[in-house]
Amino acid sequence: QVQLVESGGGLVQPGGSLRLSCVASGTNLRINSMAWYRQAPGKEREPVASITVGGATTYADSVKGQFTISRDNAKNTVYLQMNTLKPEDTAVYYCNRASGLFATWGQGTQVTVSS
């Protein structure tokens, strides 16, 4: 059974940075295109960044130039580097496949951007 464990969130002031991690078990991320998603209060979950098996990346317009997705296949881990954070980035962040989602989501990691 696939398990995804996100970590690295927290409370940060506007303009700050965080690095999120997603560790997978029960699957080899090397063969999966992966993505980070976020869900803000009262809103639907939305994709923010994805990375293919070959390392090609795509970003939502709202985070281009601000977020960077990467992967370490040896550690079966996907990362999301978030810079210049804004209050509107406040959300619970999740990882999953970019398409053909794993049925079970992780618990997510809360990111709160506030002064």
What DSSP letter does each residue of 10-75 carry, written as one string? EEE-TT--EEEEEEEESS-GGGS-EEEEEE-TTS--EEEEEE-TT--EEE-GGGTTTEEEEEEGGG
Q: What is the pLDDT of residues 75-113, one digit of tens each?
A: 999 999 999 999 999 999 999 999 888 889 999 999 999
**Structure confidence at residue 85 (pLDDT):** 98
**Structure confidence at residue 100 (pLDDT):** 87
Average pLDDT on 1-19 reads 97
Distance CA 9, CA 102 (A): 22
Q: What is the pLDDT of residues 27-82, one digit of tens each?
A: 888 889 999 999 999 999 999 999 999 999 999 999 999 999 999 999 999 999 99
